[in-house]
Amino acid sequence: MLHPVGHGPDDRQRPPKPLLRTMLGDVLRRTRLEQGRTLADVAGAAKVSVQYLSELERGRKEASSEILAAICDALWLELPELLAAVGRGLAGAADRQVTVVRLGSMPDRRASSYLPGSGDVRCLLAA
């Protein structure tokens, strides 16, 4: 028999699934602390209040895409890097650090000679 999500016989054994806002907050806080920066410093650079940033980091508030972009800029963090780290955490790897490797432009292997702009590939990988 199929059970609605959250109402199956095995649900007592499974831990609750993390919320997106909690995982976002964890990554934002970890990034800020790794940079040795204060809430006030990052909040000022992002033009948000210290209280709001603190609530975001604790997973108590949902951030709009505009606010996330401003906080990412303040943390010198690309939005795809943030989302990759959050995705890893949501997939069950919350305890593992996310390593972002940027690959520069690579020539198109079909081209006989590399000309900038022809066949450039940019990759963002998270492992």
Q: Please tell me the predicted confidence (pLDDT) of residue 89.
A: 84
Pairwise CA distance, residues 105 & 89, whole Å:
29
3-state secondary structure of 13: coil
Q: Do 84 and 123 touch, CB atoms closer than 8 A?
A: no
For residue range 51-67, list pLDDT tens digits in order.
999 999 999 999 999 99
**pLDDT (0 to 100) of residue 10:** 57
pTM of the model: 0.62
106 Cβ neighbours under 8 A, 6+ residues apart:
120, 121
Model confidence at 115, pLDDT cuts 50, 70, 90, reads very low
Predicted confidence at residue 122, as pLDDT, reads 42
Contacts of 40 (CB under 8 A, 6+ apart): 50
Q: Summarize the confidence of residues 67-94 as an average pLDDT.
A: 89
Confidence check: pLDDT of 84 > 50: yes
- Can you tell me whether residue 70 is helix, strand or coil? helix
* Long-range contacts of residues 34-38, Cβ cutoff 8 Å, at least 24 apart: 35/75, 35/76, 37/75
Span 20-126 CATH architecture: Orthogonal Bundle (1.10)
